[in-house]
A and B are shown apart, each in its own frame.
Chain A
Amino acid sequence: MKKEETVKLISAEGFEFVIDKKAAMVSQTIRNMLTSPGSFAETQHGEVTFPEISTIILEKICQYFYWSLQFASGKETEFHIEPELSLELMMAANYLHT
């Protein structure tokens, strides 16, 4: 696991989540940021800030990315979502195309 292969996602409150690029690219929005030829500032520093996404939701999203990779590789478990998070989570998922 190399530093260049990770990306740092930063929540509204300034909490940082360091995850594999491969996991982050489960999100179409992040994939576009990281792969588009125009080279976003985000791509170069490997950091993406989400001022609209709270820490609890962003962590849940990161867990979802990894769950999604596990699921794709054949490990079929359920992904638990607390009901009180569901609305905010859906809004974030919509934004991230996840």
Chain B
Amino acid sequence: MAMYIRVKRNKTTYFIQCDPTETILDIKQKLQNLIDQPVNDQRLILVATGEVLDDSKTLADQKVENDCIVALTLRKDDNEFEDVNIIRPDDFYQSRDADGGLNW
């Protein structure tokens, strides 16, 4: 196995095994098997840069490296893509911190 990327949406993370020479389309096809959403309804965004990844380019071309986090967004009913939404576990603690009034 050459590398893997972490594809995240809401509370779910998909670990996808891949190779730097694979294209984004290849990755979307792998995702299609897992989430039953056609490739055309998927958009992948490299979280570190906020860049929307291009289907025809390879992972290496777009600096997607091992262990990178990629956001998945899906096409909504009105044909637009939803915004990036990744819930992080720390979000659970924010309200508690606010109540306690602790500032660190």
Binding between chains A and B? yes
A interface list, Cβ under 8 A from B: 1-3, 6, 11, 13-20, 23, 54-56, 59, 62-63, 66, 69-70, 73
Secondary structure type dominating chain A contacts = mixed
Given known pairs A3-B33, A13-B89, the reply for A18 and B13 (CB within 8 Å) is: yes
Which of B14-22, B38-46, B48-56 lies on the face that meets chain A? B14-22
Name the 3 nearest CB pairs between A and B, nearest first: A55-B89, A16-B12, A19-B15
What are 20 A-B residue pairs whose CB atoms fall within 8 Å in the complex?
A: A1-B16, A1-B30, A3-B34, A6-B34, A13-B92, A15-B11, A15-B12, A15-B13, A17-B15, A19-B15, A20-B15, A55-B89, A62-B13, A62-B15, A63-B67, A66-B1, A66-B4, A66-B17, A69-B1, A73-B1
Beta-carbon contact of A15 and B89 below 8 Å: yes
Secondary structure type dominating chain B contacts = mixed
